[in-house]
A and B are shown apart, each in its own frame.
Chain A
Amino acid sequence: MNAPLINFTFDGRALTAKPGQTLAAALLDQGIRLVGRSFKYHRPRGILSAGIEEPNALVTVGSGGREEPNTRATDLYVYEGLNARSQNRWPSLSSDVGGVLSLVSKALPAGFYYKTFFGPPKLWLFYEQFIRRAAGLGPAPTKADPDHYAQRAAFCDVLVVGSGPAGLIAARDAVRAGKKVFLVEQDAELAPSLLRDPAEIEGKPGRTWAGEIATAVRTSGGRVLTRTSASGLWDDQFVCLSEKLIEPGQIPANGFSQRYWHVRAGEVVLATGAIERPLTFANNDLPGVMLSQAVRTYVTRFGVLPGKRVVVATTNDDGYLTARALMAAGAEVVVLDSRPAPAGHSSGVEVHNLAAPVMARGGKRGVKALVATVDGAERSFACDLVAMSGGFTPVVHLHMQAGGKLDWDQAAQAFVPGETRQNVRTVGLAAEPQPAETVGAAGNPKAAFVDFQNDVTVSDLDLAWREGYRSVEHLKRYTTLGMATDQGKTGNMAALDRIARREGITIPEAGLTTFRPPFTPVSMGALAGLATGEHAQPTRHPALYDLHAARNPIWLNAGYWKRPRAYPQGAETLAQAGLREARTVRTAVGMCDVSTLAKFEVQGPDAVQFLERVCQTTVGKLALGRGRYTFMAREDGLVFDDGTVWRLGDQRYLLTSSTGGASRMATWLSYVRGHLCADLKVSVTCVQEHYAAIAVAGPKSAQVMAALTRSEAPRHMSVVESTIAGAPVLLMAASFSGERAFEVHFDASQAEAVWQAIEAEVLATGGTLYGIEAMELLRIEKGHLVVGPDIDGRLTAEELGLGRMVNKAGGWIGQSCLSRPDFADKQRKQLIGLEAIDGKAIPEGSMLVRFVGAEAEGHVTASGLRVLEGGSIALAHLKGGQARHGEEIYAHSPTRRQTVKVRVTSPHFYDPAGERYRD
């Protein structure tokens, strides 16, 4: 049966693949060996492996927002229309200019970057432009990814990672024990090792046997996920799975390209197998030098013969399986076995014992010969393919991520999983790798590669060792060994061996660097899931949102809240609209949504005791129906929030505080309530979103309120219950603008009726709507503080100019720490006002200096202007500022290149006596 071929392109060349082939298999099938150029030296590279460990064959696939660089050709199944490009070459793969670097590799030895960084900065600037062009992998895509990434959470009793025979047996046993099982396989096919090495298991063809177990997992309520990588294993068996729904660069049929799973498992079984190690000899990175099992995979699974004259160089018995598979496919094979006779002599292949490769010969078209020492003498073997096996490195990454320790297996010369902290066990070849010998590096150390992806050679390791790097952790960072996207899956053990030999210690004594997630690269999109763009964070709409939206405001994102910043008329800019609104408030009346204020109802016989601990002002003296300004300190005595407190009933209070600090205040009150005074009879309820609130401010505000409620407006800092448009409201006479003003609080469900009634009356009185911009101008001129810039949690009440309001009887939180000697220092920063001497705007955030170049003595926290008269003013924190009124200094912003001469003043620029609050 001939299935239709699949069309794809590589570097623009039209090619075909057989169904089920990876890109690597298809390229080898077409006789293409040169697939990429190396990271630093631009050496020609081919395909080393047949799996996720591939360091060399990295390509860029897809186009536009779907472009994906650094995709492993061995982990990419060819699809119709696949467009793959080689990387790190110019002008083309076969005539790469940077290839000359491979001749002058001395230019970039280990530690090059460190040495250059420590040199004169100009030297680095010179090298940087050269390095940025010459070194690197595929460029990052520049367009937004049009696809979606799903996220899903799940639970299971047993999660099995790896569907080889060991994993399948574990899954089957768990199903038989009545467990819900997740079986995860990174390959597109279950039991890929049975595709490489077909076998009969329990009297059935291996693939049939595997399929039956998968069916049993599914029918017992579990899941079988192929093309899914277990990328991270965290505490309490929390596993992250990254499932490819389509291949990289492919256009998804249903919009989703990947699914990212968070799975909490009762037990995790790691059947992750082992990764074959390359041998370390000169030019071991030539195209056509491949891992032995990979060669077998291409021959048996993909029906591709990557070479006709093959040298199999091995340190273990597994190499003979490759030799036999190659011979069965018609290749001529010689085996070089590092072990003494009789190893391999029953295999029916030509075997040379005590034989190890020294150097490969060849070029970008691939390997032509392998020079090896055979029983002490050098011999050259003509060949077009080298299949090498330096033993097996168990995949212990997830075991280690879960906090597991490693043991040393002397027979396999490998680290195997040891003690574990979690309910995690490892089975199969990952726990019991095949026996193998370790063969040291041979040949020219400058051309013998250890980490293929980061171009780390034996000579780099030796240099680092000579320079005194002994710990593997230091060595790793100095040489960049194992720090590429493959995380040294093939190269780490050869490097450890080299260092151990130089140091005269054993490999386990040299130790191993820690494996960290992800095991294989995870797309950023998969981690973000659907939380992108406008869904990247929650959006909070105040109750009056729709009413604002109908009036086309300029919006301000205040935390998660959407708040109107100004309501421009005609072609007004933000600044023009803000100033017009502020002036209308000063001269007539304006209304503003203040629903986002934090609000708490505090009730109970001990409400006053509770409030007098939280608030630094008195509360107990409030008569029924009265309110006051208040502020709150942390335990360290510094003010962190402010607001108002109102006595609504005998034992019932309403506390308001800042919008931005709302959730912090809710946490703080619950801490004080629950932990510091659990014995008080008081209940604290957050009513932030229960009430919507509208501020009505301006000299005509009392008249507006009287018309709306058909009764006399309450006097300043009084609260009354009333009705507007039939809705019950709390009418509080409080001001944040410096004008006579009211806050109308009402059930948020009544938002529309109350707003419209107030709006009609305000507009009829010659008033306006105003937003945050005008509110800022008004409050800065009046010297009212905002939590965040002005009240930044670093000043005491005294330093903020609030000292006179502090409850002298004490008992409030933060009192004891105020006796710290540091607070007696009058040179600490204090809140002051600033006035621009030449009228220029004072840049917000700029520093305050005696002269440009002098040490900063403070900073501008809020910048505004005199609403009616004009002239720039600001609020600021200044060292010893309260005693410096009248002094002339500079507000200097080096980033904005602005310097403004300012005079230090009181922060109260408008009606300091508060006469405008009186009717």
Chain B
Amino acid sequence: MKQIPCPHCGNRAQAEFVYERSADSVVPLDAEPAVAIAALFSRANLRGTEEELWRHAHGCGMWLLIRRDRVSHHIEWVKPIGPEALP
């Protein structure tokens, strides 16, 4: 089982985390219909490295942005998101 470095808690087992969605499926609140529909239903779904939203569900509960290689599972980086990550 992989370890994911949570920016709030440190290295934790993947079982504590929940994959929520790929970052390109986020629909901004003011998105035009065409943009929203494309984000939800026709994503690139690349073989390779993409950004994803995860949640440390069984840990601190925080949302995270993770850049991950979907073939090797290698994690390039993990960033906190949400009000806690605002500058």
A537 to chain B, nearest CB (A): 15
Does chain A have a CB within 8 A of B10?
A: no
Given A613-B29, A671-B20, A674-B63: A236 and B40 interface contact (C-beta under 8 Å): no
Q: Apart from A238-B2, A676-B28, A817-B36, list 14 A-B contacts with CB within 8 A.
A: A234-B1, A235-B1, A235-B2, A238-B13, A674-B63, A674-B84, A675-B81, A678-B81, A678-B83, A678-B85, A816-B31, A816-B33, A816-B36, A816-B37
CA distance A817 to B73 in the complex (A): 32
B1-26 contact mask (Cβ, 8 Å, vs A): 1 or 0: 11100000000011000001000001
Judge whether B2 and A670 touch: CB under 8 Å: no
Q: Which residues of A contact B45 (CB under 8 A)?
A: none
Selected from A676, A677, A820, the residue in CB contact (under 8 A) with B33 is: A820
Nearest CB in chain A to that of B53: its residue: A675
Residues of B within 8 A of A541 (CB): none
In the complex, the answer to whether A675 meets B82 with C-beta atoms within 8 Å is yes
Tell me if A548 counts as interface (CB < 8 A to partner B).
no
| A254 beta carbon closer than 8 Å to chain B | no
Distance (whole angstroms) from the CB of B29 to the closest CB of chain A: 5
Max chain B C-beta neighbours (<10 A), residue from A236, A675, A679: A675
Asked whether A670 lies within 8 Å of B61 as measured between CB atoms, the reply is yes
Is there an interface contact between A670 and B29, defined as CB atoms closer than 8 Å? Answer: no
What is the interface size of chain B, counting residues whose CB is below 8 A from a CB of the partner? Answer: 30
Chain A residues in 8 Å Cβ range of B42: none
State the CA gap A678–B86 with chains docked (Å): 8
Contact A817 B33 (CB under 8 A): yes
A655 CB to closest chain B CB (Å) equals 18
Residues of B within 8 A of A679 (CB): 86
Closest to B2 in A: A235
CB pairs A–B below 8 angstroms (12 shown):
A235-B14, A236-B2, A238-B1, A264-B13, A421-B72, A670-B55, A670-B63, A673-B82, A674-B63, A676-B26, A811-B29, A816-B27
CB-based nearest B residue for A613: B29
Q: Is A635's CB within 8 Å of the partner chain B?
A: yes
**Residues of B contacting A817 with CB < 8 Å?**
33, 36-37, 40
Which residue of B27, B57, B84 has the most chain A CB atoms within 10 A of its CB atom? B27
- Residues of A at under 8 Å CB distance from B? 234-236, 238, 264, 403, 421, 613, 635-636, 667, 670-671, 673-679, 811, 813, 816-817, 819-820
Nearest residue, chain A, Cβ from B11: A236
The chain A residue sitting closest to B86, CB to CB, is: A678
Chain A residues lying within 8 Å of B40, measured Cβ to Cβ, are: 635-636, 817
* Residue from B14, B36, B85, B86 having most chain A Cβ neighbours under 10 A: B36
How close is B86's CB to chain A, nearest CB, in angstroms?
6
Question: For chain B residues 63-87, which have a beta carbon within 8 Å of chain A?
Answer: 63, 72-73, 81-86
> CB < 8 Å: which of A236, A613, A636 contacts B3?
A236
Q: In whole angstroms, what is the CA distance A555 to B20 when docked? A: 34
A671 touches B63 (CB 8 A): yes
**What's the least CB distance linking B35 to chain A, in Å?**
8
Which one of A235, A613, A676 lies within 8 Å of B73 (CB-CB)?
Answer: A235
Q: Which residues of chain B come closer than 8 Å to A673, judged between CB atoms?
A: 82-83
Give the nearest-CB partner of A666 in chain B: B61
* In the complex, the 8 A-B pairs of residues with the closest C-beta atoms, listed nearest first: A674-B82, A235-B2, A816-B36, A816-B33, A238-B1, A819-B33, A635-B27, A236-B3
* Cα distance, A234 to B14, chains bound together (Å): 11
- A6 CB to closest chain B CB, in angstroms? 40
CB contacts (< 8 Å) of A421 on chain B: these are 72
CB pair A676 B29 closer than 8 Å: yes
Neighbouring B residues of A403 by C-beta, 8 Å: 72
- Given A238-B1, A674-B82, A678-B86, also A820-B73 (CB < 8 A): no
A264 and B27 CA atoms in complex are apart in Å by: 38
Residues of B within 8 A of A235 (CB): 1-3, 14, 73
B3 — which chain A residues lie within 8 A by C-beta?
Answer: 235-236, 264
User: How far apart are the CA atoms of A671 and B26 in the complex, in Å?
Assistant: 10
Q: How far is the CA of A403 from the CA of B63 in the complex (A)?
A: 29
Q: Compute how far the CA of A820 lies from the CA of B63 in the bound complex, rounded to whole angstroms.
A: 30
The complex places the Cα of A385 from the Cα of B35 at a distance, in Å, of: 76
Question: How many A-B residue contacts, CB cutoff 8 Å?
Answer: 71
Chain B residues closer than 8 Å to A238, beta-carbon distance:
1-2, 13
Q: Quote the shortest CB–CB distance from A405 to chain B (angstroms).
A: 12
What residues of chain B lie closer than 8 Å to A635, measured between beta carbons? Answer: 27, 36, 40
A813 touches B29 (CB 8 A): yes
**A613 CA to B31 CA, complexed, in Å:** 13
With a cutoff of 8 Å between Cβ atoms, the chain B residues found around residue A819 in the complex are 33
Query: With A and B bound together, what is the CA distance between A236 and B37 in angstroms?
Result: 37
The CA-CA distance from A264 to B2 in the complex, in Å, is 10
- Residues of A close to B55: CB separation below 8 A: 667, 670
- Which residue of the partner chain B has the closest CB to A636? B40
Q: How far is the CA of A674 from the CA of B29 in the complex (A)?
A: 13
| Least distance between A704 CB and chain B CB atoms (Å) | 40
- How many angstroms between the C-alpha atoms of A677 and B30 in the bound complex? 11
- Give Cα A235 to B35, complex, Å: 37
Interchain nearest-CB distance for B13 vs A (Å): 8
**Smallest distance from the beta carbon of A246 to chain B beta carbons, Å?**
28
Specify which chain A residues have a CB less than 8 angstroms from the CB of B61 in the assembled complex. 670
Nearest-neighbour CB distance to chain A for B17, whole angstroms, equals: 13
Docked pose: A263 CA to B37 CA in angstroms: 44
Determine the residue in chain A with the shortest Cβ distance to B23.
A675
Chain A residue numbers with a CB within 8 Å of B63 are 670-671, 674-675
Chain A residues, Cβ within 8 Å of B83: 673-674, 678
Contact A674 B81, beta carbon cutoff 8 Å: yes
Q: Shortest distance in angstroms between B84's beta carbon and chain A's nearest beta carbon?
A: 8
Q: A235-B2, A236-B3, A636-B40 are in contact. Are A677 and B20 (CB under 8 A)?
A: no
Interchain nearest-CB distance for A518 vs B (Å) = 15
Q: For B35, list chain A residues within 8 Å (CB).
A: 816
Nearest-Cβ distance from residue A531 to partner chain B, whole angstroms: 14
Contact B33 A678 (CB under 8 A): no
A62–B20 alpha-carbon span in the complex (Å): 46
A675, B26: Cβ atoms under 8 Å?
Answer: yes
B37 to chain A, nearest CB (A): 6
Q: In the bound complex, what is the Cα–Cα distance between A667 and B27 (angstroms)? A: 16
- CB A182 to nearest CB in B, in angstroms, measures 17
Distance between Cα atoms of A613 and B30 in the complex (Å): 11
> In the complex the two chains form, what is the Cα distance from A817 to B35 in whole Å?
9
With A and B bound together, what is the CA distance between A236 and B4 in angstroms? 10
B2 contact set on A, CB distance < 8 A: 234-236, 238
Known A670-B61, A671-B63, A820-B37: A677·B72 in contact at CB below 8 Å: no
**Bound-complex Cα distance A77 to B29 (A):** 66
Alpha-carbon separation in the docked complex, A400 to B31 (Å): 46
- Complex CA–CA separation, A51 to B40 (angstroms): 54
Separation of A403 and B53 alpha carbons in the complex (Å): 25
Give the complex CA separation of A677 and B82 in angstroms.
8
Q: Which residues of B contact A667 (CB under 8 A)?
A: 20, 55, 57
Q: How far is the CB of A151 from chain B (nearest CB, A)?
A: 13
Neighbouring A residues of B37 by C-beta, 8 Å? 816-817, 820
Residue of B nearest to A237 (CB): B3
- A674 CB contacts on chain B under 8 angstroms: 63, 81-84
- With both chains docked as a complex, state the minimum distance between the C-beta of A31 and any C-beta of chain B, in angstroms: 48
C-alpha gap A479/B81 in the complex (Å): 52
Contacts of B72 in A (CB 8 A): 403, 421
Distance in angstroms from A476 CB to nearest chain B CB is: 24
Residue in chain B with minimal CB distance to A679 = B86
A635 and B35 CA atoms in complex are apart in Å by 12
Tell me the smallest distance from the CB of B32 to a CB of chain A, in Å.
7
Residues of chain B lying within 8 A (CB to CB) of residue A264: 3, 13
- Residues in A with CB closer than 8 Å to B26 are 675-676
Cα(A816)–Cα(B31), bound, Å: 7
CB-defined contacts of A677 to chain B, threshold 8 Å: 29
Give the distance in Å from the alpha carbon of A238 to the alpha carbon of B3 in the complex.
9
- Shortest distance in angstroms between A235's beta carbon and chain B's nearest beta carbon? 4
